[in-house]
Chains A and B, each alone.
Chain A
C-alpha cells in the first residue's frame, strides 16, 4: 500500500513540469479549450448577442438556421415562440454551468467529509459510512431526483439541492480509499507524533494529498449533474420554462422533430460537447496526476 501511494509523489518530481504534461495530453488540451470556450460564452452572453432570450416574436416563429436558408438576423433560427435560438443557446450555457458547479460543490462537501472521516478514523465510523454509501447506491438516482423535484416543484435551487444531496456517493467512495492510502504514511505518523490534532492532520496532511483525486471526481460529477438536470428538464420535471435550459430546449423542440430537427440537434450538440469537454478534462487530469489509475 505504502509503495503504491508514494509513487505519484516521486513521479511528480521526476517527470516534466505539469504544464508541459497538460499540453502533451491531447484530450486534456482539447477538453480545456472547449470548456474555456463554454465558460467564456456563459460569462459574455449579453455582449455576444445583444438580444433577449425571453423575447417572443410570434410573427417570426420556427425560422430555419442560416445553413437551412435562414437569415443572419437569427443565425440559428428561432423556436416555436419566435425567440432567437442562438441567444437562448448562449444563455443556456449559464444554467448548465451553474448547475454543474453548484450541485458538484454540495455533493463534494458531503461526500468528501464522509469519505475522509471513514478512511482516516476507520472502525465504526467506516462501517457507518460504508453502510450509508450502500444505502445511497441502492436508491435509483434518476427516479429519486425526478420524484422529489416534480413533487416540490422545479426551480433552479431545488434542482441543484436535490442533485447535490443525492450525488455524493462517488466522492465518498474515492475519498475513502484515497485517505486509506495516505493515512499510514510517514508524514502523517510524524504529524501525529508531534501532537497535531486530528482536525489539523486532516486539513493540512490528508486533504492536500488526496486533492488531485478529488478534482478528478469533481469534474466527472459536474458532468453527471449537468446531464441529470438536462434529463429532468427534458422530461418536463426539472427547471421550468421559459428558462433556456438546454434539456428544456430539446424537450420543446421534440414536437417539431419531423420538420425542424435542428431545434433538437442544436441544444443537444451543445450539451454533448460540454459534457465531452468536462469528461476529457477529468480523464486528462487523472492521466496527468496519477497515470497508474488509467482504466
Chain B
C-alpha cells in the first residue's frame, strides 16, 4: 500500500502542476489583463505601463512561478471587479456550491445505484427499460433547459418552489435535481453493468450454493464488488458537478463559486477566473486521488498489482 500510495501521490502532484500551468497559460493568452484594468479608453503607453507594473512583459514561466508561489500561500491577487482579495471571495461563495454539489451527488447515487441494481437483477424487464430510458433522456437533456422547465412547472404553474435565491433548503431542491440528473446516466449504467457482471461470477454461485439468503448474497457479496468502480465514477462526477454548477447557479441565481465564475468571465476579471480554474482542477485531482486510495483499500488487487 505504501509504495502504491507514494507513486499515486507523485503522479497527482505532477498532474496538478501541469494542469495549473496549462490553465494559467490558457487564460493569460485568451484575455488581456492590461485592457481589463485600463479599460477601453486607455492609450498604448498606459497599457504598456500597466503591463510593466504587473510583470506581464516577463516570460510566461516566470509569471506562472510567481503566481503559483503566491497561490500556494493563499494569495490569488485582487479581483479587478470587486477590488477585494480573490481568496476571500471564493471562500465566501464556497458554502453554496458545496451544499449544492453534495446534495446533488447524494441525489444521484441514492437514485442511480438502487436503480442500476434493480435493473441488473431483472434485465429487459419494464423497470430495466425505464431505467435505461431515464439514462438516455438524461444524457440528451440540456441542464439549463431542464432547469428553466422545472421553474415553469414548479414556480409558475404550480407555485410550490422558489425560482431563485438561496435563503433556505427549499431553494436547493430544483438545482439539486437538475445537477444530480446530469450525472445519473453514467452512474446508473456503470452500476447496472457491474452488477450484471458480478452476478454471473463463480463466487456468487458459490454463495448461493452455500445456501446464503438472497439478501445477504446481493448486498454483502455482489454489491460490494460492483460498487468499487462506481466509487471512482461518483468522485469524478462530484468534481464535474462542482465545476459544472456554473450553469445551474446562473439559472437559479445561487450565488456560489459558479456564479462568481460567470460574473468574472463576463467582466474579464482574470484573477478570479484563474483562481477558480486552479481551485476546481486541484480539487478534482484531490478527489480522484482519494477515490483511488479508497479503491485500493476496498480491492487489494489494485494496491498489489
Contacts and interface: CB of A to CB of B under 8 A. Distances in A.
Given A134-B11, A230-B142, A231-B247, A151 B265 contact: yes
A147 B15 contact: no
A134 B17 CA distance: 12
A272 interface: yes
A30 to B, nearest CB: 11
A237 B266 contact: yes
B23 A144 contact: yes
Contacts of A275: 139-142
Contacts of A142: 243-244, 246-247
* Interface of A: prevailing SS: helix
Contact of A135 (B19, B143, B144, B268): B19
Interface residues of A, number: 45
B190 A223 contact: no
A234 B285 CA distance: 28
B156 A257 contact: yes
Nearest to B250: A235
Contacts of A230: 142, 144
Contacts of A146: 246, 261-262, 265
Ranked nearest first, the 6 interchain pairs of A and B with the lowest CB-CB distance are A140-B243, A151-B31, A268-B145, A151-B30, A275-B140, A276-B140
A27 B133 CA distance: 10
B255 interface: no
A283 interface: yes
Contacts of A278: 140
A131 B285 CA distance: 13
A126 to B, nearest CB: 14
Given A140-B244, A257-B151, A261-B152, A147 B26 contact: yes
Interface string A130-146: 01001101111111101
Given A135-B22, A147-B265, A264-B149, A140 B277 contact: yes
Contacts of B22: 135, 139
B277 A144 contact: yes
Interface centre among B192, B239, B240, B281 (most CB of A within 10 A): B281
Contacts of B288: 138
